[in-house]
């Protein structure tokens, strides 16, 4: 049974820490593949660029990781606000031949109990926790933490006309610039 890690998020835009987290999971967790799953609509109503743009940027970010990484558009079919449990349920329905797990940042561990259907979610899929800056991952020292990069910081820099080289994968940055994304509002 193929083991697939679900890596969900706004990906507004995807940045190098997303790629590094995905590679870390692929190389260290008991999974055969990782699927980027961009949210159709932010769970808390935060503004996002169009789903199609975020999907395309995720495709560009995932392509650097090889055949084990891909992008799922399942959230488009679900529609509405992104709720992790609904996404896990739908992927399980569509792919009963897969064993899914869920990638989350260590900074979110304490929030899981407040998520929609948290009890069912915890019973349904194992979690793969990846350290984030300021919130190292679990395990024996040295704990791994991804670089301190956030989509919020990237959007703000782009809105101010500042460079984001080294923070965003080059193909993703080329896409952002070509489409004129993130110019007006951070």
The per-residue pLDDT for range 147-168, each reduced to its tens digit, is: 889 999 999 999 999 999 999 9
Q: How far, in Å, CA of 133 to CA of 72, rounded?
A: 27
Q: What is the largest CA-CA distance in the chain?
A: 47
The per-residue pLDDT for range 48-99, each reduced to its tens digit, is: 999 999 999 999 999 999 999 999 999 999 998 999 999 999 999 999 999 9
Name residue 103's beta-bridge partners: 128
Give yes or no for residue 185 having a pLDDT over 60. no
* Confidence label for 140 from pLDDT (cuts 50, 70 and 90): very low
The per-residue pLDDT for range 67-81, each reduced to its tens digit, is: 999 999 999 999 989
Amino acid 106: pLDDT:
85
Return the closest-CA partner of residue 124 out of 137, 111, 112, 139. Answer: 112
Q: How far, in Å, CA of 182 to CA of 159, rounded?
A: 6
- The answer to whether the CB of 130 falls within 8 A of the CB of 118 is no
Q: How far, in Å, CA of 82 to CA of 10, rounded?
A: 9
The reply to whether the predicted model has a pTM over 0.85 is: yes
Angle at CA 5, nearest 5°, toward 24 and 126?
105
- The answer to whether the CB of 131 falls within 8 A of the CB of 103 is no
Q: How many helices (H) and strands (E) does the chain have?
A: 7, 5
């Amino acid at each position: 049974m193929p083991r697939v890690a679900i890596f969900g998020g706004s990906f507004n835009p995807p940045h190098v820490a997303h790629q590094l987290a995905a590679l870390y999971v692929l190389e260290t967790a008991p999974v055969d593949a990782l699927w980027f799953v961009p949210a159709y609509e932010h769970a808390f109503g935060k503004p996002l660029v169009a789903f199609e743009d975020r999907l395309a940027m995720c495709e560009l970010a995932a392509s650097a990781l090889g055949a084990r990484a891909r992008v799922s558009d399942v959230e488009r079919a679900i529609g509405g606000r992104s709720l992790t449990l609904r996404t896990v349920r739908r992927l399980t329905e569509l792919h009963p031949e897969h064993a899914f797990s869920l990638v989350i940042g260590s900074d979110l561990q304490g929030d899981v109990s407040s998520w929609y259907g948290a009890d069912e979610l915890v019973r349904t899929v194992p979690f793969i926790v990846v350290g984030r800056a300021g919130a190292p991952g679990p395990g024996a020292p040295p704990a791994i933490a991804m670089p301190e990069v956030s989509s919020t910081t990237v959007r703000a820099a782009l809105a101010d006309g500042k460079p984001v080289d080294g923070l965003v994968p080059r193909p993703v940055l080329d896409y952002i610039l070509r489409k004129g994304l993130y110019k007006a509002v951070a």
